[in-house]
Amino acid sequence: MSAPATTPAAAAPGTDKRPGLMQRLSMPLWARLVVLTAAGLVSLIGSSMYYSSALYQTADRTTRMKELYDVAGTAGNAHVAFGELRYWLTDLSVSLLMSSERSANTAREKLDKDLERLATHDPDTIKMLRSEVESYVTTAMDAANAYTDGNRVIGNTFLANARIHSARVDQALNDLVARVSAAAVAERQLVIERADRSARTALYIVIALCLMGMALTVLVLRSIVRPLQRLNDGISGLMQGNHDVEIPPEGNHEFGAMARTLNLFRDSIVERQRLEAEAEAQRKTIATAIETISDGFVLYDNEARILLANGKYIEMFPQIASLVKPGVSFRQIMQAQVKSGDAKLGDLSAEAWVEQRVADHLDDRDTAYERRYGDTWVRISKRQTPDGGKVAVYTDITELKQREAEISKARDAAEAALSDLQKAQARLVQSEKMASLGQLTAGIAHEIKNPLNFVNNFSKLSDELLQELEEVLQEPIRQLDDETRDDAEDLLKTVRENLNKISDHGKRADSIVKNMLLHSRDGPSERRSASVNAVVEEALNLAYHGLRAENSDFNIEIVKSLAEDVGDIECYPQDLLRVFLNLINNAMYAAHKRRQDGNGDFSPKLWLKTQIDGDMVSIEVRDNGKGIPADIQEKIFTPFFTTKPAGQGTGLGLSLSYDIVNKQHGGDLTVNSRPGEFTAFQVALARTLPDAAADEGEVRK
């Protein structure tokens, strides 16, 4: 039961029962506070006026100091801008690039702006600086023009004069910075001294005001604390959950109003507890419903902190289960996933990945995307709540992704099979074309062979008959007059020369026919394992000694670099021997031909190199001949195309070599040449003969 309002509260043991000054004056609570506040305001206004005066003087000096430091900074910027101008003008003089001139103009604009700002501080120095800068720019541009006209001596002279103006500008700017900095330091020292003096004075004032305020506060508080003690006891009881605590009676005075408020507070606590019980019951109902959801569910507040998360979410991310609880931020969740190693960062760093995820989460748009965590794929759908939070639903789509991967793998396998089928079809068509062409070539060669043999045989027979005729007519011709005898001998000589030409062209035609028959042969040689280096060495020996036998003056430097780890490959050795023999013959011919056509200082040279290149074996034949022009390289493997003079080449050697390497062995024959420097043919062969090439060889056989 509350005590009656007229019953005075019992004095606490040991307390002073004498009324205080405020009580003796019968001042209400507001009046006591007014007195205390007025005293504080008077003290505050007086001290503030003093502080304002001191601060105004200090601020004026501080402003002057800042202006000086700003001037020093602007002078420093002007120095940097002039350095950039000097760099780009020097670069313009050397490189004569338009970009350097544009950069120099930009630096000049920055320098002019800085000088414009400095002109209000020291106009005389700035006027001198403008003159020196203008002189420097004019002299540097004169140097650039001189270099452009090719007058390097004049350009160097202008640059030397420009450096004189540059040194003057540097010195002037350095002096300006030094003067301004010294003035700023002096102002700073004055500000510090005045601030120190003001601080000491303010300290004395504050101490005096504090002592006065403490005395007045003690008087006021003594008149307030005792009535408040009873109210405090009532509030403490309510805070401890004791709703039956004794509350002072209500009244028209201040403490009575506070008692009335305390009664209302007690009633509000009771009502709040009732509402909290109802809310807890609703929360448990919602949590039970969320737990039945088959997807992970998380509710975030407007500061991206977890409010609620169901068990499915924790089950999907067991590595962060201990962290999932109300109050934990989304950033902490992302950092924990990175630390666990399940987050797929891609090309991002851990910090960048976390920042990107947090930014996506804080975006006020509704989003849906897929993420991979370890071996688990998750579809994440987020929707904004009315209060600015986020509802996130996490769906496990790992099984769906696995089915997609299986479908993609099956599609890739089907596409690969289709590509292989198309390649096999193309090879079959090409093989049929080459077979038909070979049959046609063989037929034409056989048809030409007989009349060609007739021409060759009869040219030889006619030459022999002509020799016999000369022996028979030798005596009659000797008896003829000089003019008639000369005509007869000239006719016989002309006929003999014509027969020799017929014989030479017949032999060349016979060589072409033989190469045509070789090009269209029925099948390759025996397929077996052979040493690449051995085949290359044999071809080199055959080519070199063959050319030496034909021409005793032939000589060439040979540089061999045969890798020992090349080993054996599966191939048709006789056909490869024909390829290397042809390539080496051509290389030696080209190098020797350049020596014959040039001066005697040129040294023919041939490089022969074998090496491992991944899964392939690479063989390179290089010479230092005249090279092959770029427009001819595209036609170099065309049948009957040759770069040799008429009568010295059939045009079938490289075509035959290309077919043997690319079609028969499934390799690659390429040419690289730089006119006037070198020509290099490179053969790339697999260690094992490809099935397609082997099948083609068996079919042709």
Quick: pLDDT tens for 245-260: 777 666 666 666 777 7
Class of domain 293-396: alpha beta
Instruction: Please enumerate in sequence order all residues whose Cβ is within 8 A of that of 27, keeping only pairs 6 or more positions apart, or say none.
Output: 35, 223
Cβ–Cβ < 8 Å for 366, 384: yes
pLDDT for residue 560? 92
Query: Comparing C-alpha atoms, which of 635, 622, 639 is closest to residue 673?
Result: 622
Q: Are 433 and 700 in contact (CB under 8 A)?
A: no
**Tell me, what's the pLDDT at 691?**
55
| Global pTM exceeds 0.95 | no
Residue spans of the chain under pLDDT 70 = 1-33, 36, 47, 50-51, 54, 56-57, 60-61, 92-97, 219-228, 231, 238, 241, 243, 248-256, 423-447, 449-450, 454, 508, 510-525, 549, 599-600, 639-652, 689-701
The pLDDT score that the predictor gives to residue 628 is 87
3-state secondary structure (DSSP) of residue 548: helix
- Checking DSSP bridges between strand 678-686 and strand 616-623, what pairing results, if any? antiparallel
Q: What is the dihedral of CA 157, 161, 166, 169, to 10 degrees?
A: -170
**Whole-angstrom distance, CA of residue 92 vs CA of residue 101:** 6
**One fold for both 293-396 and 525-700?**
no
Question: 3-state class of 457 per DSSP?
Answer: helix
272 SS3 class: helix
The domain segmentation of the chain, as residue ranges, is 29-226, 293-396, 410-511, 525-700
Burial of 69 (0-12, 13-18, 19+ CB in 10 A): middle
- Structure confidence at residue 542 (pLDDT): 78
Count other C-beta atoms under 10 Å from residue 606's C-beta.
Answer: 23
- Whose tokens are 């109050």? That residue is 327
Residue 349 has φ and ψ, to the nearest 5°, of -75, 170
Given this model, what pLDDT does residue 438 score? 57
- For the four alpha carbons of 575, 578, 582 and 585, in that order, the dihedral sign comes to positive
Alpha helix positions (H), 619-690: 630-633, 653-658
Q: Where are the beta strands (DSSP E) in 335-463?
A: 367-373, 376-384, 390-396
Tokens 């780890």 label which residue?
Answer: 565
DSSP string for 15-27: ---S--HHHHTT-
Going by the DSSP 8-state scheme, the letter that residue 640 receives in this structure is T
For 29-226, CATH gives 1.20.120.1730
Name the DSSP class of 343: B
Rg, the chain, Cα only: 53
pLDDT recorded at residue 44? 72
CATH of 525-700, one of 3.30.565.10, 3.30.420.40, 3.30.300.30, 3.40.50.300: 3.30.565.10
